[in-house]
Structure 1
Amino acid sequence: MKSNFARRWKGAMITAYILSLPTSYLTAQENLVLHYNRPAEFFEEALVIGNGTMGAILYGGTDKDVLYLNDITLWTGEPDRKVTTPDAYKAIPEIRALLDKEDYRGADRAQRKVQGHYSENYQPLGQLSITYSAEPAKISHYQRTLDISRAMARTAYQRNGADFACDYFASAPDSVIVLRLQTESAQGLQATLSFNSLLPHATTANGNEISAEGYAAYHSYPVYFDGVNNKHLYDPERGTHFRTLIRVIAPQSEVKSFPSGELKVKGGKEALILIANVTSFNGFDKDPMKEGRDYRNLVTRRMERAAQKTFEELENAHVTDYKSFFDRVGLCLGKTDQAIAALPTDEQLLQYTDKSQRNPELEALYFQYGRYLLISSSRTPGVPANLQGLWNERLLPPWSCNYTSNINLEENYWAAETANLSEMHRPLMDFIANLQHTGEESAKAYYGVQKVWCLGQNTDIWAMTCPVGLNVGDPSWACWTMGGAWLSTHIWERYTFTQDKEFLQQYYPVLKGAAEFCLNWLIEKDGKLITSPGTSPENKFLTPDGYAGATSYGCTSDLAMTRECLIDAAKAAEALGTDKTFRKQIEKTLPRLLPYQVGKKGNLQEWFHDWEDQEPQHRHQSHLFGLYPGHHLSVKETPELAKACACTLEIKGDNTTGWSTGWRVNLYARLQDSKNAYHIYRRLLRYVSPDGYKGKDARRGGGTYPNLLDAHSPFQIDGNFGGCAGVIEMLMQSSENSITLLPALPEEWKDGSVKGICARGGFIVDMEWKDNKVTSLYIQSRKGGKTKVCFNGKVKNITLKGGKGIKLL
């Protein structure tokens, strides 16, 4: 009699697999399985799993299966205790004087004096290779899946007519990555395991376990910096160290270790593989060697605990933990034709792009995939999701795989609160608090502002805050000053959703410090307060004589972020009943800020002067910050400025990078432009070929890769999170005292339902709608409060006690 394993997979195709899943897997919301009919050849086709600290990139090979492993705390570098350019602040008066003379060439040159070092690089941990029998094999009925409702991946196929499968998951409760190999072959398992790393390391094998120890560089430079020949500086006595353990538990098999560091598994029908890793990283301000964690003993204890459990016990703990977060939100945007849904996910994405097929389940899957990625990459205290979440294969990743604070780091967390994942927001809060410490030194050394903090464009695990560039960087990206102002707005955002006074009390000094930098950085010009010098992230203006400049004064984005930061700080102080003098200072400052200006084309002006952009379709739209993610521009309160924002987006057009597209979904939603919000959402789901694919039919540009990861391109995870946030922004918008339902609902989603999304004021919303009208509505309050709910042309005022709910329809 065949085993359950064999019956489940014998000759099964992916459609049958999906239809056979328990109803708890296929809820009323949508199909939550990414599925493919071949192994991944490129990273952009591979599937990713993670437990918030460790991650794996899964290719699902049949002759050799390679898992690329990551640990979110494995970076180059050491604590950021050195000011590269200690007298940089002395250049600020010079730059201001040049700007007063409208000498933009000179200002750009002088700005290079106000630059420090680059961020460090996020590093790959290594690769686990599982090589199967060297004998020629006929592979059939191949399936590769990722069930995001359970955070479980699986590769299954027939090998010479015998069923084979490998299950994969990354467990947060047990802090390990788990694999289970199963076969129905008469010969049993025939597999060789080995570990390798791009970092300096040593590997040994003993009994049924591989052990590897290595270390990252104590300093490195980004891939785009050409000022040095050696990008990585190594010293075995410095930098972050790691220890990786890989254990095979296969009682029915013969497991042998070899001096080469390999393990061979022979015979038996099943093997459990556990992967554990710990680094010596012990905090942004701790030397990872002198003050590091006891990583060797920690990883040993972690492995011993996990090895005491069966696969089923590990799986149950993992799924229970994961679903406690994931299952909070459900979304149904309609049903996809069964023939389309049965296609592999990459083929669905391609047809969605080329044939404009209706595929509401794919649209909902992309939303839920964003939630899956945030749970999987943001659970380590003080270490938020980076530019690639936590999945990186390169020693010199694009943009160092760092934290880029002029949009990308913030966009990673736009859906954290609305999508009911507030716990995943907490690592960012801790990180912002770390930035305050190093940011005080940067504010003093680079800008001459005392006892406040700031942040430039880039940062890293060591909470680096200085402007980058090493005195040769282009000021358009190297000399931005408003990272602290933008990031700190997340503190007030989190409070508005959670109503957690204890949290606000703890983090209020961080928000206040960023606001105080803004107050101190402002100068007066023609009776109005502006910033000088300033830039609009990565963009350039054209002066009347044709010069493409970056350094200016009174940049709209600077002032928008200053406004939002000051407003948030004042609200936080009021909520805590503190700092009356500080609040009054803000109240006096806000009306004196240079107001928004509308340009000759009807657009929201980006620069102090109504000048052309060097690149009118530039990917950044930082001057629209006040509309989204800020709150001080809106269709209702500032209709003329909202109209100017819409004109700006029209000028920029549709073709842009992945993260920028994700931002534009939210901007159009805030404009209550349902048609364009949906159009841009579809544009975000535009099929993009893997970077390494060289065929004549290759698709390049911004959009979505076959594995549904965001294509900047190359891969950046921020677009996934921006798109996820944008779906909720179309379905619901809120302020501290109001909730508006279906403000930008596209006609394509005229019937649907959502449960568990969160509104400001501490409310949780479940609703159904039909023909664009809400037909069922239940609202619950976390801690008690009142709000007004706007839907179907009506307004209802509600007051609820904490933990209580009300059915309004």
Structure 2
Amino acid sequence: MNTNLTKKTFFILLITFFSKNANAQSNHVLWYNQPAEFFEESLVLGNGKMGATVFGGANSDKIYLNDATLWSGEPVNAKMNPDAYKNIPAIREALKNENYKLADELNKKVQGKNSESFAPLGTLEINNSEKGKAVNYHRELDLSNAISKVSYEMAGIKYTREYFVSAPDQIMIIKLTTDQKGALNFDINLKSLLKSNVEVRNNILMMTGTAPIHENPGYTVLPKYLEVKERGTKFTTLIQIKKTDGKITNSRESLILRDATEAIIYVSVATSFNGFDKNPATEGVDDIAIAAQNLNKAYAKPFDKVKESHISDYQKFYNRVNLDLGKTTAPDLPTDERLLRYSEGKEDKNLEILYFNFGRYLLISSSRTMGVPANLQGIWNPYLNPPWSSNYTMNINVEENYWLAENTNLSEMHLPLLSFIKNLSVTGKVTAKTFYGVNEGWASAHNSDIWAMTNPVGTFGKDDPSWACWPLSGAWLSTHIWEHYVFTQDKNYLKNEGYPIMKGASEFFLGWMTTDKNGKLITSPSTSPENKFIAPDGYIGATMYGGTADLAMIRECFEKTINASKVLNIDTAFRTKLEAALSKFYPYQVGKKGNLQEWYFDWNDEDPKHRHQSQLFGLFPGHQITPEKTPDLAAAARKTLEIKGDETTGWSKGWRINLWARLWDGNRAYKMYRELLRYVDPDGKKADKARRGGGTYPNLFDAHPPFQIDGNFGGAAAVAEMLVQSDDNEIRLLPALPDAWEAGFVKGICARGGFEIEMSWENKSLKKVTIISKNGGKTTLISGDKKQDITLKKGEKLEINW
């Protein structure tokens, strides 16, 4: 038996050796033959708090550093516009009179400040003394262990670098080696776009600084620094070198290593952020002490131990899911060339898997800080003025970031969003009263930031209501709480944390909704995120009443709150109120084109192909519309998508793929998944025929453009949605399997009800399925025409040959 084990181990090692050394076409390694020149070519690392963007240059390596908790601003004054709610009756009166122009003007009076910005912490540079031409250059990111590597030769000497950001040790490690004794000679520098100071103390390079205090006047104006003492989030970066030989010296602002053979660079970052409601200057944590403690602890450990604990910690999440889409004949190419080849319509199943795996990698790497979810750029931002402030855009984007959390077995990564929603429910109580005149529950709007800002944005009346005036995000976000429960079956969480927040969201909407002339419950005022209608008199407006998206989101919010109260067996009286309200909702309407109406009336859109498809919320991520249970509405949703067309931005395409999957149209979903992976040149690249538009950058970042991470997350979630769909009572296996994926295997996809799935298929038919119950329960498995009812005990596993 030992001999067999030895032989088996030997063959596994042999296969691993050859696959790695031949750089065999991979579904978990991104690799390139040249350093990154642009941000969209770089490789990113993160431990859920600290982010590192690695360029991998040979003569000079540049690494952007970020900390998830470094934002401009300070705790929000939720009472910023205390009389805003007094405008609501006048808006409703204007709408009653069908005066949409006046309604738009009045709606601007129900606006507050814009969000704060996610800030760039700094740039680390490693400058080599030897300048020359690098040959045999190779740069990679291995998703299976969250480690990036660079290797090259210069003047006959081989250099290697290894980079990772450890969650257990809260440290970034860069290991540099050379195959010739004493050939390592480099300087390390730090700089920041923020107000900062750099010095060297006891051979430790130290940068300290403060994020700006500013009220962002819009999305295009650089923040102005206000010289105000005791305000703003402080930050610290500490860098220390551990060497085997050679000599460490320093200048005033640089660390210098000469004549070394191997060196390990330790990078520690921290901020004074101490919660959304604490002044980071006067009530903040000690960022210098935290950074020093993390540095000292990691420095005292052997490199191998730090690396081993990093890999072990990361793989306990990453290894839960394994996807195989069958045989591929695609050649082995660097990732940028693979993407270009794939964009020409060629087959590359492993690239499709790589993109899915990359989405899971990004969520593990950017979402492990409670109360601080992944933002529009995850945690990777080099800009002082990032696109859309790199904030939390809550009319789709922050929610889309988390569509893959539960179903791709990363439930723990959902917790930063769930704890953030709890913060919103605090500031949102004030917003409900002062902006909307509702004294029960909490409300949140279109944008937020680390300070859990909940007011409608728009710079106090300066911006367009089509995007600025939208009080519905509390409804959407509250459904994430139910999703977490229904996947995990964690009743304690639902009782102690989740349900009170869900109830608060529902209470607000009970108070906010009003009736139309027929006594049906609607919202007024209402907007449909970022889209505009054409009124009968030709006016192009945003403010109306009874928008479909509003009603779909509130319906989902009420239904999930009802479900939660039943599970917990509490709040019968409140549940009855919600049920009564639901029975009076203005129903979905099918328009003259056969589409699902976006507006209360059958109006045309200003932009019929608009990127938002908020009126389809009930199809996905909601559960109100299905081809089986509501075929007419499903057909109307399909027509809406056909009118909109397939050409759209990254995050929107990610949403549309999920929508097509829910319509059980695997081939249409797959067509759009391929389009999501269309090669896009880096934003700054000057070329005669630059490839622009929505798609995927060379480093697999989503091109909105510019980079927005939600497309990565939405696309990865859609792969899982094509393979497994579920609700509280049933699990559909291979509901939207495209012809291109005729054979395959998946392990670790999760389903509602607390189940985990492993299955294989051939010729587009399910062959074998193994289902595990995390907490015990019953469900119905469905694939094709076949159904099977199952009941499992906690931890029980059932294997079925289908």
Bin of the TM-score, shorter chain as denominator length: over 0.9
- Which of 438, 444, 456 is the aligned partner of 1:449? 438
Question: Which residue does 1:166 correspond to in 2?
Answer: 161
User: Structure 1: how far apart are the matches of 2:256 and 2:118?
Assistant: 32
- Which of 81, 85, 88 is the aligned partner of 2:84? 88
Q: Taking structure 1 as reference, are residues 475 and 26 closer, same or farther at Cα in structure 2, changes over 3 Å only?
A: farther
What is the 5 A alignment of 1:344-355? Answer: 344-354=334-344
Question: Which residue does 1:403 correspond to in 2?
Answer: 392
Question: Which residue does 1:4 correspond to in 2?
Answer: none
User: Structure 1: how far apart are the matches of 2:358 and 2:60?
Assistant: 27
Question: Which residue does 1:238 correspond to in 2?
Answer: 231
- Which of 680, 687, 691 is the aligned partner of 1:695? 687
User: Structure 2: how far apart are the matches of 1:373 and 1:140?
Assistant: 30
- Which of 466, 482, 504 is the aligned partner of 1:513? 504
Deviations 1:313-342 (A, max 9, x none): 1110000000000000000012332xx442
Is 1:32–2:28 an aligned residue pair? yes
Q: Taking structure 1 as reference, are residues 22 and 293 closer, same or farther at Cα in structure 2, changes over 3 Å only?
A: farther
Is 1:115–2:111 an aligned residue pair? yes
What RMSD in Å do the two structures reach over aligned CA positions? 1.7
Deviations 1:694-745 (A, max 9, x none): 2112111111111001111100000000001100110010011111100000
Question: Which residue does 2:485 correspond to in 1?
Answer: 495
Give the superposition deviation at 1:83. Answer: 2.2
Give the superposition deviation at 1:30. Answer: 5.5
CA contact (8 A) 1:29 1:332 kept: no
- Which of 728, 732, 752 is the aligned partner of 2:744? 752
Q: Which amino acid aligns with 1:754?
A: V
Q: Taking structure 1 as reference, are residues 25 and 143 closer, same or farther at Cα in structure 2, changes over 3 Å only?
A: closer
What is the 5 A alignment of 1:549-568? Answer: 549-568=541-560
CA contact (8 A) 2:520 2:584 kept: yes
Q: Identity of paired residues, percent?
A: 53
Give the superposition deviation at 1:605. Answer: 0.3
Give the superposition deviation at 1:478. Answer: 0.3
User: Structure 1: how far apart are the matches of 2:22 and 2:471?
Assistant: 47
Is 1:250–2:243 an aligned residue pair? yes
- Which of 782, 786, 789 is the aligned partner of 2:781? 789
Is 1:368–2:357 an aligned residue pair? yes
User: What is the TM-score when the length of structure 2 is the normalising length?
Assistant: 0.96
Is 1:149–2:138 an aligned residue pair? no
Question: Which residue does 1:219 correspond to in 2?
Answer: 214
CA contact (8 A) 1:784 1:803 kept: yes
Q: Taking structure 1 as reference, are residues 272 and 777 closer, same or farther at Cα in structure 2, changes over 3 Å only?
A: same
Aligned residue for 2:766, secondary structure, equals strand
- Which of 421, 425, 439 is the aligned partner of 2:414? 425
Deviations 1:753-794 (A, max 9, x none): 000000000000000000011112100000100111112421
CA contact (8 A) 2:114 2:218 kept: no
User: Structure 2: how far apart are the matches of 1:495 and 1:580?
Assistant: 20
Question: Which residue does 2:305 correspond to in 1?
Answer: 313
CA contact (8 A) 2:466 2:527 kept: yes
CA contact (8 A) 1:222 1:396 kept: no
- Which of 467, 480, 484 is the aligned partner of 2:474? 484
Question: Which residue does 1:52 correspond to in 2?
Answer: 48
Deviations 1:42-73 (A, max 9, x none): 10010000000001001111111000000000
Give the superposition deviation at 1:182. Answer: 0.8
Give the superposition deviation at 1:84. Answer: 2.2
Unaligned runs of 5+ in 2: 1-12
CA contact (8 A) 1:223 1:400 kept: no
User: Structure 2: how far apart are the matches of 1:122 and 1:18?
Assistant: 46
Deviations 1:290-312 (A, max 9, x none): 11112221111111100011221
Is 1:196–2:180 an aligned residue pair? no
Is 1:654–2:643 an aligned residue pair? no
Q: Taking structure 1 as reference, are residues 24 and 730 closer, same or farther at Cα in structure 2, changes over 3 Å only?
A: farther
Aligned residue for 2:260, secondary structure, equals coil
Aligned residue for 1:380, secondary structure, equals coil
Aligned residue for 1:233, secondary structure, equals coil
Is 1:675–2:657 an aligned residue pair? no
CA contact (8 A) 1:217 1:234 kept: no
Give the superposition deviation at 1:516. Answer: 1.0
Give the superposition deviation at 1:539. Answer: 0.2
Question: Which residue does 1:42 correspond to in 2?
Answer: 38
Aligned residue for 1:623, secondary structure, equals helix
User: Structure 2: how far apart are the matches of 1:54 and 1:655?
Assistant: 35
Q: Taking structure 1 as reference, are residues 294 and 759 closer, same or farther at Cα in structure 2, changes over 3 Å only?
A: same
Give the superposition deviation at 1:437. Answer: 0.4
Question: Which residue does 1:775 correspond to in 2?
Answer: 767
CA contact (8 A) 2:244 2:261 kept: no
Q: Which amino acid aligns with 1:358?
A: E
User: Structure 2: how far apart are the matches of 1:763 and 1:519?
Assistant: 34
User: Structure 1: how far apart are the matches of 2:67 and 2:402?
Assistant: 20
- Which of 416, 423, 426 is the aligned partner of 2:405? 416
Question: Which residue does 1:523 correspond to in 2?
Answer: 514
User: Structure 2: how far apart are the matches of 1:303 and 1:545?
Assistant: 66
Give the superposition deviation at 1:231. Answer: 3.9
- Which of 249, 258, 264 is the aligned partner of 1:272? 264
Q: Which amino acid aligns with 2:255?
A: L
Q: Taking structure 1 as reference, are residues 78 and 43 closer, same or farther at Cα in structure 2, changes over 3 Å only?
A: same
Q: Which amino acid aligns with 2:337?
A: E
Give the superposition deviation at 1:160. Answer: 1.4
Aligned residue for 1:376, secondary structure, equals helix
Is 1:504–2:458 an aligned residue pair? no
Give the number of aligned pairs.
786
Is 1:579–2:571 an aligned residue pair? yes
Is 1:283–2:310 an aligned residue pair? no
Aligned residue for 2:642, secondary structure, equals helix
User: Structure 2: how far apart are the matches of 1:475 and 1:768?
Assistant: 49
CA contact (8 A) 2:438 2:512 kept: yes
Question: Which residue does 2:178 correspond to in 1?
Answer: 183
Q: Taking structure 1 as reference, are residues 203 and 136 closer, same or farther at Cα in structure 2, changes over 3 Å only?
A: closer
Question: Which residue does 2:533 correspond to in 1?
Answer: 541
Is 1:209–2:204 an aligned residue pair? yes
User: Structure 2: how far apart are the matches of 1:18 and 1:268?
Assistant: 33
CA contact (8 A) 2:182 2:246 kept: no
User: Structure 2: how far apart are the matches of 1:152 and 1:193?
Assistant: 21
Question: Which residue does 1:3 correspond to in 2?
Answer: none
Give the superposition deviation at 1:233. Answer: 3.1
Question: Which residue does 1:461 correspond to in 2?
Answer: 450
Question: Which residue does 2:135 correspond to in 1?
Answer: 140
User: Structure 1: how far apart are the matches of 2:21 and 2:132?
Assistant: 33
User: Structure 2: how far apart are the matches of 1:762 and 1:22?
Assistant: 39
Give the superposition deviation at 1:387. Answer: 0.6
CA contact (8 A) 1:216 1:234 kept: no
CA contact (8 A) 1:207 1:257 kept: no
CA contact (8 A) 1:219 1:232 kept: yes
